[in-house]
Structure 1
Amino acid sequence: MTGRRVLPSTGLALGLATAMLAACASGPGAEVARRAQTELIGMPKDALLSCAGVPERHAAANGHEYYTYVAHPSAAISPLGSVGIGGGSGGVGLGVGLGVPIGTTGSDGCEATVVLGATGRVEQVSYPAGASLSACAPLVQNCVAR
């Protein structure tokens, strides 16, 4: 044999890795964000405002209205404290420490732009290229039929 042979376990590992990466890319809620791009088409403006709420930004141009809904990355602040007691060489010491770690909880932000036509109905729902659709889902989930 002159060619390389892929062992079955290697192929299986590559397949599992690909599936895991695809799951991470879409994540939970991604399907809701995808469905919104078709299910919201034709929705009247008052129904959109009722289910999605007031947009963070609003613009109008050429007979269209642009509503932008924003999900900001979530952050966590949690104070941590510690007390230490030590001794040696005839002395005793006491120390108190306080730390405040600040960071994200893993939720990316997202923007959803909803375009309303001259009739006041939804014509398009879009997300930025490369956006995590899971992070976009909370913006539209109340409007998507269950």
Structure 2
Amino acid sequence: MSKFGTQAGRALAAGALVLGLGACANPQADQALFAQQAFVGMPAETLLSCAGVPDRQANVDNLDYFTYSSERIVSRSVPSMGFSPYWHPWYGWRYSPGWGAWDDRTEIESRNCEATFTLKNGTVQQVVYNSSSAGPSARLDQCYQIVENCLALVPQQQLVR
């Protein structure tokens, strides 16, 4: 193996590790990932009682699909580079580059998640998330909104802390 291949492999592994750790830095994202395994075997009646009526429902080849959706708009203030005015005793008013609080801008981000529960014979077999939100933590954070009530029914010793 060439030296480049080894370095590239290490860089790729390090990048994957950073991304993986970044996704796990959010407890709600951790809980959403945990729910995908914890809900397997859950009866349909329990799912309906804690998650409510699905937004969409389908039946194909003796499998039921319950899809729940969650969406919200997040806005945050982001400072941008601007020019800060200052008074110089000899030159009068001047402007210097800097981070100016007066120059903040607002970023608006849409976060969404669809959680599809696959059921066979009235029991959850699989939970799949789909989202167009940016970043794994943002996606899973929004998916947590769907599974949060049902997580309260999972025995506490199984919950990820």
CA distance in structure 1 between the aligned counterparts of 2:125 and 2:142, rounded to whole angstroms: 22
In 2, the alpha carbon distance for the partners of 1:26 and 1:59 equals 32
Q: How many residue pairs were aligned?
A: 104
Shift of 1:73: 2.7
> In the aligned structure 1, how far is the partner of 2:19 from the partner of 2:38?
27
Instruction: Note if contact 2:55-2:69 (Cα within 8 Å) is conserved in structure 1.
Output: yes
Query: Residue by residue, what CA displacement relative to the aligned partner does 1:70-119 show, whole Å, maximum 9, x if unpaired?
Result: 0113367xxxxxxxxxxxxxxxxxxxxxxxx9944xx61111000000x2
- Write 1 or 2 for the structure with the bigger share of helix: 2
Counterpart in the other structure of 1:134: 141
Partner of 1:46: 45
1:122 to 124, 127, 131: 124
1:143 shift after superposition: 1.0
**Distance (whole Å) between structure 2 residues aligned to residue 27 and residue 126 of structure 1:** 21
Highest CA radius of gyration, 1 or 2?
Answer: 1
1:108 alignment partner in structure 2: 111
- Cα RMSD for the two superposed structures: 2.8
The AA in structure 1 aligned to 2:112 is G
Query: Where is the strand percentage greater, Structure 1 or Structure 2?
Result: 2
Q: What is the TM-score of this pair, normalised by structure 2?
A: 0.54
Which amino acid in structure 2 is aligned with residue 137 of structure 1?
Y
Question: Whose RCO is larger (CA < 8 A, sep 6+)?
Answer: 1
Evaluate the alpha carbon distance shift between residue 75 and residue 30 of structure 1 in structure 2; reply closer, same or farther with a 3 A threshold. Answer: closer
Structure-to-structure mapping, 1:68-87, within 5 angstroms: 68-74=67-73
> What is the CA-CA distance between 1:32 and the residue it aligns to?
1.1
Runs of 4+ in 1 over 3 A off after TM superposition: 17-27, 101-104
Q: What's the CA shift for 1:21?
A: 5.7
Q: Could you say what secondary structure the match of 1:109 adopts?
A: strand
2:51 alignment partner AA: A
Q: Which amino acid aligns with 1:50?
A: S
Provide the rounded CA distance (Å) in 1 between the counterparts of 2:111 and 2:126: 23
